[in-house]
Amino acid sequence: MNPGLGLAALAAVLTLALAAVPAHAQPYKPGDVFRDCPACPEMVVVPPGIFIMGSSGANKQEKPTRPVRVLKPFAIGKYEITFDEWEACMKEGGCPGGLPDDHGWGRGRRPIINVNHEVVKTYTAWISKKTGRVYRLPSEAEWEYAARAGTTTDFPWGDDVGENRVNCRQCGSEWSGKGSAPVGSFPPNSFGLYDLNGNVWEWVEDCWNPDHAGAPKDARPRLDGDCTFRVMKGGSWYYFARLARSPYRFKNHAQVKSYNIGFRVVQELP
C-alpha cells in the first residue's frame, strides 16, 4: 500500500465531508458575513465584548450609563429587512395581511415599513422555521452594541453627524426629510453594518422603561416595565440628527405602524 496515496485519499474524504456540513453548522468568526437561504437577509457576526450603554448627556432616558457585557458573539442583519425579504415571507405564507404600504417610494431594497411589533414576529417565526436557526429581534443592548461598533461617540464616526453620512432630516442626503433610502446607501460602521443610525426607526425586543435604572448588566432584553410600549432605536429620515445618535432611545405603542418604522433581525449562534 502506498502511504502517500492513503493520506491523499483521506484528505479528499475529509474535504468532501466538511463541504457537506451546512454552512450554519460550521463555526463563525467575528466579521463573517453569511446568508442562510437566497431569500434570507445577510447576517454579520459581531464579537463578544463590554461597552458603556447610554450617555451622560441631557436626555434622562439614556441614563444612567452602565457597562454591559455581551457574553457571546451573535449575528445581526447587515441591513434593515427590505421589502424584497418581506415579500419572500409573504409568498410562503409566513407574513399575512398583505404587502405594507411603501408610500410610493418604491419597494425592492428599501427597508420594510408600516409593520408593528407584533407583525414583525411573524417574519422572525417564518425565517426561524425555514432555516432551523433562531432569528429574533435584537435586544436594545445588542442593537446599541452593534451600532456603536466599539466607539463611545454619538455616531460611529464622531459626535458630529456631518454631511450626507446618514438619512435624517437636514443631514444633507437626497432622502433627508423626504423618505427612506435603499439600504446600504451610506458607508457602514466598523462592524460592517449599515443604516443603524437613521433611515427608519428599528423595533427592538425591550419593553419601555423611562431610563436604564435596573436594566440587565448583560445583553438580554429588558422585559419588565410597560410592555404595551416597545423601544425603538436609530432615528429616521423624518427626524433630526440628535434622535439618530447611537444611545438615543424612543418608545412607541407596540401596535403602531408608520412610514418611519422598520426592523432588522438577530440570529443566535450555536
**Containing domain of residue 127, as a range?**
32-267
Question: What integer pLDDT is reported at residue 26 of this predicted model?
Answer: 61
Q: How many CA atoms lie within 13 A of 191 on its CB side?
A: 31
The cell for 264 is: 432588522
The backbone torsions φ and ψ at residue 22, rounded to the nearest 5 degrees and listed phi first, read -55, 145
* 179-to-106, 184, 221 alpha-carbon distances in Å: 10, 15, 30
Residue 14's pLDDT is what?
34
- Kindly give the confidence (pLDDT) of every residue in the chain, 270 residues in length, as a single tens digit, with 9 standing for 90 and above: 444 434 344 334 333 333 333 445 568 999 999 999 999 999 999 999 999 999 999 899 999 999 999 999 999 999 999 999 999 999 999 999 899 999 999 999 999 999 999 999 999 999 999 999 999 999 999 999 999 999 999 999 999 999 999 999 999 999 999 999 999 999 999 999 999 999 999 999 999 999 999 999 999 999 999 999 999 999 999 999 999 999 999 999 999 999 999 999 999 998
CA atoms within a 13 Å half-sphere pointing along the CA-CB vector of 9 = 6
pLDDT for 27: 84
When divided into structural domains, the chain yields a total of: 1
In a domain, residue 148? The reply is: yes
Distance CA 173, CA 159 (A): 18
Is 4 contained in some domain? no
pLDDT in the model for residue 194? 98
Domain membership flag for residue 91: yes
pLDDT number for residue 25: 53
The pLDDT score that the predictor gives to residue 270 is 87
Residue 241 lies in a domain: yes
Q: What are phi and psi of 185, to 5 degrees?
A: -80, -10
Residue 26 domain flag: no
Q: Are strands 201-208 and 33-34 parallel, antiparallel or unpaired?
A: unpaired
Whether residue 82 is contained in a domain is answered as yes
Distance CA 225, CA 208 (A): 6
Which of 192, 59, 204, 83 is CA-nearest to residue 136?
204
Asked if residue 172 lies in contact with residue 164, where contact means CB atoms within 8 angstroms, the answer is yes
Pairing state of beta strands 261-262 and 201-208? Answer: parallel
> How many whole angstroms separate alpha carbon 258 and alpha carbon 100?
10
Domain at 131, CATH number:
3.90.1580.10
In a domain, 177, yes or no: yes
